[in-house]
Amino acid sequence: MTKILVIEDEPSLREEILDILESEGFDVMGAEDGLEGLDSAQTNFPDLILCDVMLPGADGYAVLSGLRQNPDTALIPFIFLTAKATRENVRQGMDLGADDYLTKPFRMDELLNAITSRLTKQATIVQIHQKVTQLQHSNLLKDEFIGSASQELRGPATNIMMALKLLQQAANPEQTQRYIDRLQQECYREIHLIDDLLDLHYLGANERPLQPEKLNLQTWIPAIVEPFKTQARKRQQTLWSNIPPYLPMPVIDAADFKRILSELLNNACKYTAPGGKIVLEARCDLTASEAINPDGQMIMLIVSNEAEIPDKFIPNLFQPFYRVPESDRWQQGGNGLGLTLVEKLAKRLNGKVQISSKAGWTQFTLQLPIETNPPTTLAPNK
Ligand code: CA
């Protein structure tokens, strides 16, 4: 409810204004002198103040200048009510930052119009202010991101320089081969990081329009999982996939969907100890789909792996470049962008990804609302 403070020492006028404003649906409060008004403004933070100029004790100018000095009350719209609106009075009030003047006697519709006009302007100012704050915040995040990205890119580059130096001084073919392998590894890391950064950039800029196509999950999921089974076997891990005999055939962007699943599987393989288990489960959950996507169905992919992440680290997992401290005991060298990409891609497909970790297992659940019929007309790519 919009709160209005009326500072007026003439009781009959004060009461009349309060009554009218109350009947218009405003939350009202009155003050009979300047000091009481200033005090009320600083405790109640009204949305607008009507204030007489001539008041006992502190006059209207003193009230206004007191309000403008306090950052919490400085922006409250302020309308003077005055019997003597000479040029000098008006100038003085405007210099102090009054928003409007009403000369007594005024009609109540004039008062209400002045109030509405101020409140509308104030709403615009608040919106602009919020937008500016948002932009400043996102600018800050961008700066932080550039700083972290530069540091991350420096890592492999420094190792490449070092491996090159060692290669120049290699004493035998075995050493030469070892440094070449190291060089290859670091180049691969650098390229992978640059590719992920570019993908994040393209996602943010929305440069690749969604290209929904009908997918047969029964064959599509195993084709994606297969290379990860090989990867897991190399580290003596077991990767099981549990795909029910019937799954709907969603119309979905296959590239985004594949990337999400691959990142989740890659993540699970990386952070599971040699010998540990990884499980992928696909489900079409009707109860959940009714809540999230009443007009369609929902597919759930659950990737669980044998590793536990302490609760305190979980909120950071989707932050760019974040790595759980001491989680990479097997030197798998993640760049900390995989889960950031997963979250953004899931959002792009109108879905979400959640994580839970307990009893020695970590579980990522991807929920995607799906359409099973292709749209009859495809919207042109923008
Ligand atoms: Ca007065």
What tens digit of pLDDT does each residue of 178-190 get? 999 999 999 999 9
Mean pLDDT of all residues in 86-114: 86
Right CATH for 3-106 from 3.40.50.460, 3.40.50.2300, 3.50.50.60, 3.40.50.970: 3.40.50.2300
Tell me the mean pLDDT in the region 131-148: 91
Would you say 281 and 357 are in contact if contact means Cβ atoms under 8 Å apart? no
Considering the entire predicted model, what is its pTM? 0.66
Residue whose pair of structure tokens reads 């590894």 in the numeric block: 185
Name the segment(s) of the chain with CATH classification 3.40.50.2300. 3-106
Placement of tokens 């495809």 in the chain: 378
Distance 72 CA to ligand 1 centre (A): 26
* 287 has pLDDT over 70: no
Task: Report yes or no: 308 and 358 within 8 Å, Cβ to Cβ.
Answer: yes
What pLDDT score was predicted for residue 325? 78
CA of 35 to the centre of ligand 1 (A): 14
8 A C-beta contact, residue 345 and residue 196: no
Sign of CA dihedral 194, 198, 204, 208: negative
CA 56–ligand 1 middle distance (angstroms):
8
Which of 100, 112, 5, 15 is CA-nearest to residue 49?
5
In the reported structure, the alpha carbon of residue 111 is separated from the centroid of ligand 1 by a whole-number distance in angstroms of 17
| CATH class (in words) of the domain with range 212-369 | alpha beta
Which of the two residues, 256 and 204, has the higher pLDDT score? 256
Instruction: Say how many Å lie between the CA of residue 238 and the centre of ligand 1.
Output: 85
Cα of 97 to ligand 1 centre, how many Å?
Answer: 20
**Average pLDDT value for residue range 154-182:** 94
Tell me the CA–centroid distance for residue 65 and ligand 1, in Å: 18
Which pLDDT band, with edges at 50, 70 and 90, does 79 fall under? very high
Contact 345, 260 (CB under 8 A): yes
> What's the 49 CA to ligand 1 centre distance in angstroms?
15
Cα separation, 337 vs 200, in Å, equals: 9
Rounded to the nearest angstrom, the distance between the alpha carbon of 121 and the centre of ligand 1 is 27
Return residues with CB closer than 5 A to ligand 1 (ion). Answer: 9, 52, 54
Q: How far is the CA of 83 from the centre of ligand 1 (A)?
A: 8
State the span(s) of the chain assigned CATH 1.10.287.130.
Answer: 140-205
pLDDT recorded at residue 113 = 95
Q: Is 49 in contact with 5 (CB distance < 8 Å)?
A: yes
39 Cα to the center of ligand 1, angstroms: 18
Q: Which of 126, 128, 181 is nearest to 159 (CA)?
A: 181
Quick one: which of 283, 231, 223, 210 has its CA closest to 258? Answer: 223
- Contact yes or no for 193/152 (Cβ under 8 A): yes
Q: What is the pLDDT of residue 281?
A: 95
Lowest mean pLDDT among 81-85, 178-182, 365-369: 81-85
Q: Mean of the pLDDT values across residues 267-292?
A: 81
Dihedral sign from CA coordinates of 194, 197, 201, 206 = positive
Q: Which of 58, 15, 68, 53 is nearest to 33 (CA)?
A: 58
Q: How far is CA 286 from CA 221, 261, 301, 370, in A?
A: 20, 21, 14, 12
135, β-bridge pairs: none
Residue 39 has pLDDT above 90, yes or no: yes
CB atoms within 10 A of CB 13: 15
Angle at 346 between CA 340 and CA 352, to 5 degrees: 100
Query: What are 138-142's contacts with CB under 8 Å, separation 24+?
Result: none
Where in the chain do CATH 3.30.565.10 domains reside? Answer: 212-369
Average confidence score pLDDT of the chain:
89
CATH 1.10.287.130 holds for 140-205: yes
